[in-house]
Structure 1
């Protein structure tokens, strides 16, 4: 089959790889009908996520048609149309039973490796390094889905692939970011990053009752899409974000702040972001937390900082003194997608949101390697790429 594979920093290829097969009785194989390039895939493209191997198949936003099931798979049958969560979860362990599917204790075969870095291992993920299981991803013609009775959700025929594909990751992640904010009537939510997850967080914040959303970015197309959703937009190249948020909130700060950027912010944003970049280049640091620092300072006393941008290791100069003395709450996670799927599918069916609004580029797998670069460099107005194998 054809698939997008990783061969080092900036080197993504479309090439032939072996077709997946049933390995465990709880597996399913799907024929991929749509897949996407995620913002977190760019961390792989940029070579900042460890334990990738040459030839690894990428992709964790995937949907398709079931073409084969293992003998113990009960909830799916051949012909079912499904969306596959990026988190691989067993459904039976301590965390899965409590709805914390992204903390699954059984789905990462390399959990000892992850535990050395993080203390304990999260769930395995599709197409996202051997640290998180070494699973082949879904930017391919076919995908093997472990624990198939737990992950994939069946989708109705009257909804298009593009309407439901993002249930795999960015819609639940953006929704979770807003959900973590415990939004109350009249709240102002500030969101750093107007990429795909940030766009979903903007709309989710309004769905959950926010009165005002402040969206922060510098890319014109992203800011325009945020404005179209009703957000007040700030360009961090044009104004001081802290001063402006304080002005807009009469000196109090935002009720909650969402970091939808993570470890690779724009290095021209500020002096500290430049210094972070230098430290990473010299192996003196692992991550660049400029956005997190700013979100902490812009959050009101006893507010919430919600973190869904990807960080991998250890963060420098995070102002914990500010957070502790002002009573901030931190909420963060890899999204337990399965927890949110029923609610979000219902919202799509009711017409409350159509996640396809974020798509700017439609392509084939063969066009995928070039579109990784286009997406990373924010060229051609690229916000979200969907591919059809």
Structure 2
């Protein structure tokens, strides 16, 4: 398998060891988010995070930017936010001289990493500016044009867009990740790591934002010839799931495939890099079917070429025993039946809800289509019974 040249390999190694690994250690249960931030930066694309507040979304992104000494901008959008709050106010001194200019110091136009919380609160004035930023890395005001040093823009929301006018904005976020609260068993590690996070100061990594920019330019040197046919087949299978993956987005996802190869230390893409397609969903109900489809491709790729250097998120899923899952769902159903005579305590109900969510996640990896759909549907019915 073709490896990268020594300089690029050095950058990748430092990125893994000095940035990705320490962030995974500091932010318990957020390995997936950390890996996707790196993927977004190297591919030059943008990342959307769906999930409730308090799940460390902005903290992980801020930590990534700090470790590579990248200029960072963060803002919480409301319905009343104005473009000046993101892009900077008009320079009044120059305006008196008859020139329209923007004071961009410390604002989004100077950032290499930007995080906008609650994206779908954006009004039309901000929306139009953001589309230009995401598409062209430019900000225009009057006759002035700013070329932005932005590596990636990250955003988060606890819901998906309901206004069709926001769909164009959502479409510009090629990578989508669902982030939820950590399970109960992760709480002790979370508290320990969170306490250390409060005490510790971010250290500087051996890789800079300039190094990442250079690595990003290499994605168009990655050899995609060996996967083009199987990639096209997978795109059609994804569309068969009902996911509206446009031709434009299908081409852009190739940047993610190439970035995965780079982050794995390769200059040639393999089918193991198709893991990135797990993150191109449009609606929450597409997440599990998409994960199952891509998981089967990854499993086959690993069995055919076990020696290939794979990205951590490309590891094929462990095989799931459908019969065992059915037995566990039976047990939950029995507890709910018993609750008709003796109502469940709130704590017990919360634990059952968490357990059903976990069983539903595991069911999405069951290989047999009929069994998978049956188990996911049964878990959903039981969740509805809990209310």
TM-score greater than 0.5 by the shorter chain: no
TM-score of the superposed pair, with normalisation by structure 1: 0.23
The higher radius of gyration belongs to 2
Q: Which has the higher helix share?
A: 2
Q: Which has the higher strand share?
A: 1
TM-score of the superposed pair, with normalisation by structure 2: 0.23
